[in-house]
Amino acid sequence: AMDVPSVGTRGEAPWKKMSAEELENQYSPSKWVIQMRPEEALETYLQIGIEGTGMFTQSESTQKLFKMVTPVAQGVGHRPHIPEVHSEALHGQNVCKDESAFMVEVLTAQGVAVVIVGYDIAPRGTLDQMVDQVTRSVAFVQRQHPRNEGIYLCGHSAGAHLTAMMLLANWTKFGVTPNLKGFFLLSGIYDLEPIVFTSNNALLHLTLEDAQRNSPQLLVALTQPADPTCHVQVIVGQHDSPEFQRQSREFYQALCRGGWKASFEELYNVDHFEIIENLTQKDDVLTQIILKTIFQ
């Protein structure tokens, strides 16, 4: 774990002093890319998912392993969850669970079984439903593979928020305790209150109560770790917006206050999209962090 400077108390949150336009910009990740225009960043991100998935499924050496990349939600009483185009920053990336498979070949090549989880994004699903679907999916994996050597959850952006919510899950409700050994939270949002005041809320329809109930930032310090050895890694890109960076730092601090085994990492010279796109590269810093954590 690295020391992260304090950024003040909750009542002094910088976003509360921002204009509506600046707040909107802070929670629009494509506005902060430095290599291309915002619209190009989104198009490139989606195209990498589409092309990468095609290459992955067509590779003879990985077809067998690809069968382990399972749309889990289909196995827990839900139809396949295919996201549609909606708001940019939260629970609205136009990347379905199948297209997200572009990043897993480096992991499966090392013998890691990878599961891609889908969920109903807004307006089809409420945030509470999304959290429930992901929770059920994690419980399903544990029931299907009760002798697993460890489950590691990884989420990016909106996925990082949903992954962080798994730290708060009441697993007794599902009759199983997943063997969670590690979390990789990439460029996430952990306090949803600012989202209420951005265009991202046009389809989410979050009330302040909804946002607070689904903000791990507010709750994780009050939650006892089920496994003190479970490592929660909060990771953000150097070129993520200042608000995304602040949220990551403050969430790391909350984890430390709650007694979690946590670490914080700011990855050099990557933006909100590159941080996940680079997982196709075996020598990428984040890829190596994930592999070393799993095989340590």
Q: What is the DSSP string of the chain?
A: ---------GGG-GGGGS-HHHHHHHT-GGGG-SSS-HHHHHHHHHHHHHHHHHHHHH-TTTHHHHTTSEEGGGGTT-------S--SSSS--S--TTGGGGG-HHHHTTT---EE-----TTTS-HHHHHHHHHHHHHHHHHH-TT-S-EEEEEETHHHHHHHHGGG--GGGGT----EEEEEEES-----GGGGGSTTHHHH---HHHHHHT-HHHHGGGS--SSTT-EEEEEEETTS-HHHHHHHHHHHHHHHHTT-EEEEEEETT--TTHHHHGGG-TTSHHHHHHHHHHH-
Catalytic residue numbers read: 157, 240, 272
Below-50 pLDDT ranges, the chain: 1-9, 41-42, 45-89, 92-100
The neighbour count for residue 21, using CB atoms within 10 Å, is: 8
pLDDT (0 to 100) of residue 248 = 98
Beta bridge partners of 233: 184, 263
The neighbour count for residue 89, using CB atoms within 10 Å, is: 24
The neighbour count for residue 128, using CB atoms within 10 Å, is: 11
Measured distance CA(149)–CA(227) in Å, rounded: 14
Tokens representing 268 are 């050099």
pLDDT (0 to 100) of residue 76 = 42
pLDDT (0 to 100) of residue 91 = 53
Measured distance CA(281)–CA(283) in Å, rounded: 6
Amino acid at 196: V
Beta bridge partners of 236: 266
Name the residue ranges covered by the structural domains of the chain.
Answer: 18-72+85-295
Measured distance CA(81)–CA(75) in Å, rounded: 11
pLDDT (0 to 100) of residue 224 = 87
- pLDDT tens track for 52-76: 444 333 344 333 333 333 444 433 4
Measured distance CA(132)–CA(151) in Å, rounded: 18
CATH number of 18-72+85-295: 3.40.50.1820
Please identify which residue in the block is written with the tokens 């077809």.
63
- pLDDT tens track for 168-187: 999 999 999 999 999 999 99
pLDDT (0 to 100) of residue 254 = 97
Tokens representing 128 are 């509470």
